[in-house]
Amino acid sequence: MTVGRRRTRRSLRAERRLGEAKEGARALGRGVARRVLWSALFFALLSSLSGMAVMFVAGTPLYGALFLPSALLSGAALGKWKGG
C-alpha cells in the first residue's frame, strides 16, 4: 500500500467524521433555538400580562390597554407554536 493511498483513506475518514460532527452540531443548534424562541415568547406574554395588571392596579387603564396587543400577539404565537 502506498503512502498516498493511506493519506487518502485518512482524509476521507476525517471528512466523514467532520461531516457527522457538523450535522450533530446543527441538530443541537436547532433544538436550542426552538427552546430559546419558546422561552422568549413565554417571557413576552408573561411580562405583557404582568405589565397590564400593574397598570390597572396603579389606576392608569389606558396604559394597561397598551400592553394588550403585545399580550395578544405573544399568546397567539405561543398557541400556534404549541398547536403546531
Domain extent, residue 24, equals 3-83
Please tell me whether residue 47 adopts helix, strand or coil conformation. helix
Q: How would you write the pLDDT of the chain (84 residues) with one tens digit per residue?
A: 555 566 677 777 777 877 777 777 677 777 777 788 888 888 988 999 999 999 999 998 888 888 889 888 888 888 887 775
> How many domains in the chain?
1
Residue burial 15-30, b: 16+ Cβ < 10 Å; e: rest: eeeeeeeeeeeeeeee
**pTM score of the predicted model:** 0.61
Which residue reads 398547536 in cell numbers?
Answer: 83
Torsion 41-42-48-51 (CA) sign: negative
Query: Which cell is 21 given?
Result: 460532527
